[in-house]
Amino acid sequence: MGTPIIIAKKTSDTQQDIVLHSQFANRHGLIAGATGTGKTVTLKVLAESFSRIGVPVFLADAKGDVSSLAKAGSNNPKFDERLKILKIESVPFTATPLVFWDLFGEQGHPIRTTVSEIGPLLLAQMLNLNDTQEGVLSAVFRIADDQGLLLIDFKDLKAMLSYVSEHATEFKAEYGNLSPASLGAIQRNLLALADQGGDQFFGEPSLNILDFIQTDAQGHGYINLLAADKLMNTPKLYATFLLWMLSELFEQLPEVGDMDKPKLVFFFDEAHLLFDNASVALQEKIEQVVRLIRSKGVGIYFVTQNPLDLPESVLGQLGNRVQHALRAFTPKDQKAVKTAADTFRANPEFKVDQAITELGVGEALISCLDEQGIPQIVERGWVMPPYSAFSPISLEERQTLMTQSIVAGVYEQSLDRESAFELLQQKVVDRQQEALQAEQEKIQAKELDTQAKQQEKEQAAFEKQQAREQERLAKEQQKEAERNAKQRDKLIQDTVGTFAKSAARSLGGSTGQKIVRGLLGSLFGRK
């Protein structure tokens, strides 16, 4: 059985309570109204009430004043006047357990997630990409997955985009045309996001979404307060971050069906930022999350000025509604009033569209689901006062609470493990080394070829020189042989001539000469 949460007293009879049944708190809700009509106080009252019954809460502090939840309230003349209207003697002032978070890590524990976890769809929304650019980004993610490259932080994504851009022609056959124009647009939008501080959102340690679902020693649910004053300057980042959180909750939490109370209540302040300029695909994802996350035990409460800020498909999913005053000065305002009035189950005691314009500060039209889950007729009532203070806590008080937090020291130190950036850098180094080695091998081969040619040239010259030398020696030998032959012939002639003269002298006379001539003639073949 659920717990009735008193959120207001009927204007016509303050003895009667207007309640929200906790078992139907996961049917989602809406807090709407013009500026200064009391939406923040209503937000605080609901957050405190959920916390007291043990339901953790997540909400964004757009102006920095919701941090007052961490400090017990006190009496003041204006507060006492409201108590008189409600006919309440006193309020048990008390603080609510808070955990401070900040995407930039300045006013709370840093929140990070990896590029892979946020995915191309949400990242495209964050970067304000068109359909073509979104398709290219999806292809980049697919390439990273196929090649085992982890996309963790900002520099991983930039490195991956540069890598894909350099090898676009190689990927074209498998992943389609990856135009340089689209890749360039994505890179430019990344730089713009980094200038806004969005790069701090990506990294490790990644947020464990279950850290939002915590209770203190008294069984009170922690209120997770996101510092959003700076984040509001980057509405795309703000909306995308909150949608990512809802998606993570949807994926990680088990199906539980109906419970006595929700596991977590999620307040989405400045809800119009979620739907402004959202693509069709993103809107469908939002509607899907809102429709299905109820079964996970999570309630979503949109806080906005105008009900028209929400699509009708989403507005129709909201079972609990608190409508503060709206002004009907312009045709658009009048349309908003009529739309808001038409969303309520009519009350015969007053005209809803007229009452919306007449509500005082802190007064609202309220319609919640009854014990059977049926929308009740709309009631006009004064919202209950919060138990916490109205003034925000100081920076010193915030720092003290952060040091005592249940997640103190868990997310403060960032990690940088090996991922796409490092692996792609290594690939570049490897390619450079391979190129250097190839160049060295080329130089060595050239040198070896030069040496071989030089050796061949020297060998040829040597062989030529040897041939010339052999030829010279042969000629010299031939000349020597010819010279020896001549000398031998001359020697023979000289010898014979000498012998002949000697014989002639020895024999003397004509007879001797005749004998000699005859002998020599026979020797030389002469007659």
Angle at 67 between CA 389 and CA 101, to 5 degrees: 160
Counted domains in the chain? 3
- Express as a percent the part of the chain with pLDDT over 90: 49
Q: Could you list the residue range(s) of the whole structural domain that residue 145 is in?
A: 117-192
- Better-predicted residue by pLDDT, 525 or 309: 309
Q: Are residues 404 and 497 in the same domain?
A: no
Q: Is residue 230 part of a domain?
A: yes
Q: Is residue 199 part of a domain?
A: no
Q: Are residues 252 and 388 in the same domain?
A: yes
* Per-residue confidence (pLDDT) for residue 525, from 0 to 100: 57
pLDDT tens for 222-271 read 999 999 888 888 888 888 888 888 888 988 999 987 889 999 999 988 88
Q: Whole-model pTM?
A: 0.79
Residue 519 has pLDDT above 60, yes or no: no
Long-range contacts of 467-475 (CB under 8 A, 24+ apart): none
**What's the whole-number average pLDDT of the chain?**
88
Q: At which of 165, 192, 219 does a domain end?
A: 192
Q: Are residues 297 and 376 in the same domain?
A: yes
Strand partners, 379: 366
Q: Are residues 463 and 326 in the same domain?
A: no
Q: Is residue 10 part of a domain?
A: yes
pLDDT tens for 421-476 read 888 888 777 777 888 888 888 898 898 988 889 988 888 888 888 888 888 888 88
DSSP 234: S
CB contact burial 189-201 (16+ within 10 A = b; e otherwise): bbeebeeebbbbb
Q: At which of 192, 221, 252 does a domain end?
A: 192
Q: What is the CATH number of the domain that holds 331?
A: 3.40.50.300
- Better-predicted residue by pLDDT, 346 or 507: 346
Q: Are residues 326 and 232 in the same domain?
A: yes
Q: Is residue 226 part of a domain?
A: yes
Q: In the structure, what pLDDT confidence band is assigned to residue 518 with cuts at 50, 70 and 90?
A: low
* Per-residue confidence (pLDDT) for residue 157, from 0 to 100: 94
Q: Are residues 269 and 313 in the same domain?
A: yes
Residue 330 has pLDDT above 70, yes or no: yes
Q: In the structure, what pLDDT confidence band is assigned to residue 95 with cuts at 50, 70 and 90?
A: very high
Q: Are residues 257 and 320 in the same domain?
A: yes
Residue 506 has pLDDT above 80, yes or no: no
> Can you tell me which residue has the tokens 């019954």?
53
**Which residues are CB-contacts of 459 (< 8 A; sequence separation ≥ 6)?**
none
Q: Are residues 260 and 175 in the same domain?
A: no
Q: Are residues 22 and 137 in the same domain?
A: no
Q: At which of 192, 217, 235 does a domain end?
A: 192
Residue 221 Ramachandran class (φ > 0 left, ψ -120 to 50 alpha, else beta): beta
* Per-residue confidence (pLDDT) for residue 163, from 0 to 100: 93
Q: Is residue 8 part of a domain?
A: yes
Strand locations in 239-391 (E): 264-269, 298-304, 320-323, 363-367, 379-383
Query: How far is CA 344 from its chain centroid?
Result: 42
Q: Are residues 355 and 436 in the same domain?
A: no
Q: Is residue 197 part of a domain?
A: no
Query: How far is CA 227 from its chain centroid?
Result: 22
Q: Is residue 450 part of a domain?
A: yes
Q: Is residue 198 part of a domain?
A: no
Q: Are residues 230 and 265 in the same domain?
A: yes
* Per-residue confidence (pLDDT) for residue 491, from 0 to 100: 81
* Per-residue confidence (pLDDT) for residue 287, from 0 to 100: 85
Q: Are residues 322 and 178 in the same domain?
A: no
**Which residues are CB-contacts of 211 (< 8 A; sequence separation ≥ 6)?**
406, 407, 410
Residue 293 has pLDDT above 70, yes or no: yes
